[in-house]
Structure 1
Amino acid sequence: MRCLAIIPALLALAAPALAETCPPAPDLEPRKSELLAAVRAAETELDARLLTNEMWELWTTAPDATAQEWLDTGIERRAAYDFEGAVNAFDALIDYCPDYAEGYNQRAFVNFIRQDYQTSLDDLERALELSPDHYAALTGKAMALYVLGDQPTAFTVLRRALDMNPWLPERHMLPPEMQPQSGKDL
């Protein structure tokens, strides 16, 4: 157990030395475009969930083994409710790969859980700059805005996410006048 506590500290120390070595992320655009089109056209919620699972596989494909290790460590630490360890791993990932959107998205999720909504929003903004079609990051942004009391903006952002994936579970948060006119969303 003691060794697990040391891992985040080692990751944080190693990140600055490696910051220049992150390779570009693999080109996943063709598959991502296919999945975005397929999830918009999905006939059932189950079909959409399966496609979203594939999308998560793309989003969580890091640029190299080092980045993947930090991403996986952060996700594991979050699942174990070690939020400090998770943030440390995601900090190291972002230091190493500052242009990898999922590092910001995952750190935003941990900060949302920790109820640090503004920090979460800052990371989501960066994730969306890097990956504008990341509908999970858009949904996270909508949730953070909602909790912060900015429901009109939250609903607008959620509507944008629903334009990419009309099956998102959060679709039911929209007021009736903003609900899509598709049978999928009713």
Structure 2
Amino acid sequence: MNRLSKHIVAAFVLLVTFSLPAAAQDSALDSLFEQLKTAEPREASRISKEIELAWTRSGSATADLLLKRGRDALEAGDTRAAIEHLTALTDHAPDFAEGYHLRAMAYADADMFGPALADIERVLALNPRHYNAIASLGGILYHVESYAKAKQAFDLVLTLHPHHQEVEEILPMVEREIGGRDL
């Protein structure tokens, strides 16, 4: 089994293991997640922004600055700089899930799927309800043509966030790929 396959299996095991009854991290977030499950699309968008804002709060000015620099570099298409800033962030704040999630996105943009999956594993160990990390896992699985596992990841995202726009857009493509294949 190659390194990428090991990371896919490990990330998928974490996904299944930590999926839905997640330990309560914060009662405010618990409430937001409950509201998100039944919200209409417009309200779901507002609630998800609140959840995602909470995920970006590190409690450290240094970590916040590194997160901003990493995000800015990623948005500017400077993957190398993004990885450098986000690696500094994960070194500085090893229990801050959002740093690993953004670095996973940067690694995936650089087609470095092994490190991206390792970071997603870490995100899900720290925050099992991180639906954006699960969506990133689904995206990587789709990219490496593991369509059935990608669908499982995307289905879990929709269990957590029923109106996740990116997942709603890609899911029909995943289902088309699976349609002609044996699971």
The TM tier, using the shorter chain, reads 0.7 to 0.9
The residue type equivalent to 2:131 in the other structure is: Y
Which residue number corresponds to residue 159 of structure 1? 155
Q: CA deviation at 1:117?
A: 2.4
From 36, 39, 44, the counterpart of 1:39: 36
Which residue number corresponds to residue 58 of structure 1? 54
Summarize the alignment of residues 50-129 of structure 1 with structure 2, pairs less than 5 Å apart: 50-129=46-125
Q: CA deviation at 1:76?
A: 1.1
Q: Identity, % of aligned pairs?
A: 27
Q: CA RMSD in A?
A: 1.9
Distance 2:35 2:111 in 1: 34
TM-score by length of 1: 0.75
**Which runs of no fewer than 5 residues in structure 1 stay unpaired?**
1-26, 179-186
**Which runs of no fewer than 5 residues in structure 2 stay unpaired?**
1-23, 179-183
Distance 1:65 1:113 in 2: 27
TM-score by length of 2: 0.76
The residue type equivalent to 2:67 in the other structure is: L
Which residue number corresponds to residue 6 of structure 2? none
Q: CA deviation at 1:28?
A: 6.6
Aligned residues: 150
Distance 1:69 1:96 in 2: 11
